[in-house]
């Protein structure tokens, strides 16, 4: 008779926990101490691998959001959008964790990175591809409802589902701008702001890319509302 502690799932591992989560494989994805050129490689690999997982989740949710919006399912899309934004918060938290890496120790890690660069992060590339698609699907949803961005923000309670969605999109954009800022400050404190990265890019280039925004219209509408509020009596 199998007891509750006995594994019933297929696959390697002594317990169902290990089998379902594939912990053997997962925990072998980082260098073993005897293979490390520097002990902080574990910190560096953990942070980057964990970030790739959070971005994988965020993009998985975003794919569904795009499909849901195409079918007019706005509230379900809002729920998953919030989850995707929360996943980005973990990427930022992970990035800040690298503040525990001392500059000289990074140079020990860097000897192992080859030409590896964040430009080739699958997660960030996916975010870069998916975000404009999300923007287009949002615009199509507005058009189908026959509402302009201005109407949506001027009468937010008339279309609460679309309004919440729009705010989720701005959360997404804002989180990414905040991540780029955190990353730049991290880079400056670890390798300096006046040097060249592992793929030959001057760090200074990162500062010019800080303010990339995928949903510029959503930022611009705020300017319009502020101008309008200054010229007309404010109604709730």
Distance of alpha carbon 174 from alpha carbon 183, whole angstroms: 14
Site for ligand HEM contains 51 (CB under 6 A): yes
Contact between 134 and ligand HEM (CB under 6 A)? Answer: no
Out of 145, 161, 186, 207, the residue judged to bind ligand HEM by CB under 6 A: 186
- Does 88 interact with ligand HEM (rule: CB under 6 A)? no
Q: Does 187 bind ligand HEM (CB under 6 A)?
A: yes
Among 17, 20, 75, 119, binds ligand HEM (CB under 6 A): 119
Considering the complex, state which of residue 68 and residue 92 has its C-beta at the smaller distance from ligand HEM: 92
- Closer CB to ligand HEM, 159 or 180, in the complex: 180
Residue nearest to ligand HEM according to CB distances in the complex: 118
Instruction: Please say whether the beta carbons of 72 and 141 come within 8 A.
Output: yes
Closest separation between CB of residue 24 and ligand HEM, Å?
A: 25
Mention every residue, 6+ apart, whose C-beta is less than 8 A from residue 46: 30
The minimum distance between CB 179 and ligand HEM, in angstroms, equals 8
Tokens found for residue 39: 């002990």
Residue 208 CA from chain centroid, whole number? 19
Cα→Cα distances 189→183, 192, 205, Å: 10, 6, 16
- One DSSP character per residue, 134-200 reads HHHHHHHHHHHHT--HHHHHHSTTTSHHHHHHHHHHHHHHHHHHHHHHHHHHHHHHHT-TTSB-TTS
Give the dihedral sign, CA 200/41/119/47. Answer: negative
Q: Of 7, 13, 43, 48, which one interacts with ligand HEM (CB under 6 A)?
A: 48
Site string for ligand HEM, 199-228 (x = CB under 6 A): x-x-x--x--x-------------------
Exposed / middle / buried, residue 174 (Cβ in 10 Å: 0-12, 13-18, 19+): middle
Taking a C-beta distance cutoff of 8 angstroms, is the pair 87, 65 a contact? no
Q: Does 106 bind ligand HEM (CB under 6 A)?
A: yes
Asked if 198 touches ligand HEM (CB under 6 A), the answer is yes
CB of 74 to ligand HEM, least distance (A): 30
Query: Smallest distance, Å, CB 138 to ligand HEM?
Result: 23
Return the range that interacts with ligand HEM (CB under 6 A); candidates 63-71, 77-85, 93-101, 224-232: 93-101
Q: How many CB atoms lie within 10 A of CB 59?
A: 21
- Give me the residues that bind ligand HEM (CB under 6 A), please: 47-48, 51, 91, 94-95, 98, 101, 106, 117-119, 121, 124, 183, 186-187, 190-191, 197-199, 201, 203, 206, 209
């Amino acid at each position: 008779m199998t007891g509750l502690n006995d594994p019933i799932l297929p696959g390697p591992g002594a317990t169902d926990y290990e089998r379902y989560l594939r912990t053997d494989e997962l925990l072998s994805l980082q260098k073993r101490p005897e293979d490390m050129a520097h002990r902080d490689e574990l910190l560096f690999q953990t942070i980057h691998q964990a970030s790739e997982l959070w971005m994988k989740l965020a993009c998985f949710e975003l794919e569904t959001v795009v499909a849901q919006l195409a079918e007019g399912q706005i509230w379900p899309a809002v729920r998953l959008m919030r989850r995707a934004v929360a996943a980005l918060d973990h990427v930022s938290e992970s990035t800040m964790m690298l503040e525990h890496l001392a500059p000289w120790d990074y140079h020990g890690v860097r000897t192992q990175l080859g030409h590896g660069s964040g430009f080739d992060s699958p997660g960030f590339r996916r975010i870069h591809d998916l975000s404009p698609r999300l923007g287009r699907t949002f615009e199509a949803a507005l058009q189908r409802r026959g509402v302009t961005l201005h109407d949506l923000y001027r009468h937010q309670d008339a279309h609460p589902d679309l309004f919440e969605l729009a705010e989720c999109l701005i959360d997404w954009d804002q989180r990414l701008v905040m991540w780029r800022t955190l990353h730049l400050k991290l880079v400056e404190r670890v390798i300096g702001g006046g040097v060249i990265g592992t793929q030959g890019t001057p760090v200074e280039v990162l500062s010019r890319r800080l303010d990339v925004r995928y949903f510029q219209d959503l930022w611009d509408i705020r300017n319009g509302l502020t101008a309008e509020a200054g010229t007309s009596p404010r109604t709730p």
